[in-house]
Structure 1
Amino acid sequence: MKIGAIIAIFIGIVIILSGISSIAISFWFVVQLIFAALFLNSGVKVFKYPSGEHLGSLIFSGILIIDAFGIWGVDWGFWELFLAMIGSYLVGWGLMSIFGNSKFMRRTPKSSRQNLSISRPLEADEYNVDIDANLTKVLLLDTQRDKGIDATLSFDKKSFSGSLNYNKERNSAVLKAKCKAKAGVSSVLTKSRINVELNSSPVVRFNATLDGVDAVLDFSNIKLDNASIRSNISRLSVVPSKLRDSRIDIDCEITSLNLRVPREVGVIIVHQGELNWSSFDELVYRENGYVSRNIETAKKVCQLFIKSEMSKLSIDWI
């Protein structure tokens, strides 16, 4: 700390001056200065972290300095200084009790929120988006602004660690968002959020690992090429692309999966594992899977490969 360095310089100067007989120095004098420095280092924290303990340390450090240099003729022994220390802390506690709520002494609470953001113009033909999150709300959709990518990550630093990175090489750009809960954290879904907005022009490849997440992935106005999604104990809503034929691979465990399919998009669903289907509307069973009735007339087709364990699937046509 800077205050500690200043105190060390002060004590060093005193010792140097004693060597040239400018100041009479003794062992007791050095001991008093060392303890005065320790108490002063603790005491100055009162201006940042107001408390009776810090104020008492500041008062007692002043008493030690006065006694060490014999200011006002003060020359106290050990027990007198010991009683002075007790008195200093009592005075510090009393003053903080009386004035601790004043504007001067009130400590401004420091926010634990961390907000990260990336905003880039349209500068790539391909986007690779990678999201790794747990206990987080995730939203992905097309941007309504004249931007290539707008991404934000918000989380509580006490409960989460996170990062948001963007890298561009030639005509390809990579966006990586990571938000992970710290050990022992649970039931804090509203404390972290990832929002990603993508331009509808570039081709997009998407990869996500989601654990305990509430996610909406709206690719309807995005040129999605392929997506790979792994989810566990999550609620997931996916909207296929209307702009490009696409493939979406979903590996889910104990997940509520909702497919919101635009009516101009045809779907082919191949499923493996246990899955509770709540709706077969507009679907026809064919070759170990299901296809939508509009598959012949659809403008675009989305192939969905779903591997699941103890999950639920619902399909809505929009």
Structure 2
Amino acid sequence: MEHRELGRTGWKVSAIGYGAWAIGGDAWGRTDDAESLRSLHRAIDLGVNFIDTADVYGDGHSERLIGQVLRERPGEELVVATKAGRRLDPHVASGYDRRNLTAFAERSLTNLGVDRIDLLQLHCPPGEVYHMPEVFGVLDDLVAAGTIRHYGVSVERVDEALAAIRHPAVQSVQIIVNMFRLKPAEQFFAAAREARVGILARVPLASGLLSGKMRADTPFSAEDHRRFNRRGEAFDQGETFSGVEFEAGLAAVEELRALVPEGATLAQVALRWILMFPEVTTTIPGARDARQAKANVHAAGLPPLSAEAMAKVRDVYDRHFRAAVHPRW
């Protein structure tokens, strides 16, 4: 497993991480805790040392499952990142105050069963928050108090990412990066590199579209955001299929299949594509079972994509998505 530096933290984390949204048990349909725990253990066994979660994933259920794994693997050097802010109702910039952020962090400490949070990220806050230095002052104070070690942000848009890294103690930016989302590579990666800020590539498989397993009639349960959030009904539309139209995504996938070498899957090629960018610290695909965890890890072992393959991805993006996706996110 390749390891890459995470910002200026001094940590080196696995290029393939573990995204723990799906195991929270909400927004992705039903889950099995025993299988979720097996997937976490399998990923760690195979070299994954970075786990990303949030306090709202299953109302803390994802954090508590990770806490169980931490107790079952004492002494292992794992980096756990969580996120805070989306518990606010209403979710407004003024809610990102000292009282709320402190309470959110303390709740995550309890859920994870740890004394200090490795990396706390603002969870896709309203855009105004990135221009409120007092919010980042609160995070500085949480670091000084020993509640968190470092902090970063999770963003929806590139302009938010660029605003966030103007705050000097931001160590990481979590942003959607995949074959259907090239704007971060074009307009943010260079700035992140200059600022020595880590990049956590989220939604790497476009909510499963880039697995190559979906069809026009693929069913999704009523609890699955791929059914109820295609137009942004519950949260930002970009979180579901990266904001692309489902049918357009299916058409693009058919073109991308030509890039898959024998013995690999489209999902693995999609993950390896992300790792072609040295600015990316880690990508965080989900894994609902141990088989998926293993397949994700093996993506890091694929050979580098050729210049021709990288150009093909750009061409597919340009023709199918640039006009609709690039201006919005």
The alignment's TM-score, normalised by the length of structure 1, stands at 0.23
Q: Which structure carries more strand by proportion?
A: 1
Q: Which structure carries more helix by proportion?
A: 2
Higher RCO structure (Cα 8 Å, ≥6 apart): 2
The alignment's TM-score, normalised by the length of structure 2, stands at 0.22
